[in-house]
Amino acid sequence: MITFVKRGILTTIQDAGRKGFQRFGMPAAGAMDQFAMKLANVLVGNAPDTEVVEATIIGPSILFDEAEAFAVCGGDLEPCLDGQPIENNRAYIAKAGSLLELPMAKSGARAYIAFSGGLDAELKMGSRSTYMKAGIGGVQGRPVKDGDTLGLRAQKVELPHLPGRYVPAGFGVAYSSHPTVRVTLGPQDDLFSDKGKTDFCAGDYTLTQENDRMGFRFSGPDIESIPESDGNIISDGICFGAVQVTKGQPIVMMADRQTTGGYCKLGCVTSADLPLLAQLKTGDACRFRFVGVEEAQALYLAQLQLLDDLAKHLDTPAIAGAFATAHAAPRKTSLREFRVTVGVEVFDIQLEELD
């Protein structure tokens, strides 16, 4: 069992979300950063979509009542075990009586804590994800409170096999406070002018204070509609990452989004890049870039394959380390970056001076 000694700002239980219920008006919910959730689970021997603790900005303090393997992935909330700093992206074993603390976000916004075997949280509609507006999943359908307890489900990997499982920072996703986020066009991209599409990809968009698990409102260059459009449509379905435009500004719909909406949608953030958005804090900026559907699908499938391949290597730490390092995102250098716009196409160019 674990006890939440301190709750943090917004700490909930999340998994991959409720699949197949949006047609009944039930939002999917689930982890905001699905890659970090899956990676943490793989590190402790769970199925990738097993429920985890999602901590936001200021995380919880968790007391272990029994020995348990865990891993923290996603944003760096400066995790400590029994007062000693520990690393993200590494499996640890906590002893009975150990205290895990995530005091403050140093980088990123959300951390994910996976426990070997998973958590005995409320199961509703095939998911343990907390959806607060309906009061279902997780711990009584709400964020955790000080003193809440959760049981631990049976571990699937013996504890001695877990220490040493790790991946380096940047594995799979290159988190940044100013990322370039890829977007596929549609379904109402025809209701925006060529200028509007060009401007959407040409400037920075800053995350405003109006951001939560439902959606992220950005502020930046106006996105021009065609004269025939008033910005509204007959309500239709909304997917994770849909880019709605209202009053010329984008709102990206996130994990707790409503099931339908009546604003025009310029595009949808690729599944592979949703983790980049999930780790933004108020005041962080990003840029958007259009890609085709086939490229978006290939990016996401490659991400899933990376996790699958990692799971096959993890029981041999030396091999796993080499594999993970080879697939880590490259460190940023002092490259000079340019953006060139030709019609509605935008090209990012990097130049590095050679000796």
Residue pair 51/119 in contact (Cβ under 8 Å)? The answer is yes
What is d(CA 330, CA 35) in angstroms, rounded to the nearest whole number?
Answer: 18
Q: Residue 333: pLDDT band by 50, 70, 90 thresholds?
A: very low
Q: Of the candidates 55, 75, 282, 41, which has an alpha carbon nearest to the alpha carbon of residue 175?
A: 75
Residue-wise pLDDT for 85-101, tens only, equals 999 999 999 999 999 99
Task: Say what the pTM is.
Answer: 0.88
Contact (CB, 8 A) for 206 and 284: yes
Task: Give Cα 201 distance to the centre of its chain.
Answer: 22
The pLDDT tens digits of the residues spanning 166-208 come to 888 778 899 999 999 999 999 999 999 999 999 999 999 999 9
**What domains does the chain contain, in order, with CATH numbers?**
2-161 (no CATH), 180-291 (2.40.100.10)
How does pLDDT run across 35-53, given as a tens digit for each residue? Answer: 999 999 999 999 999 999 9
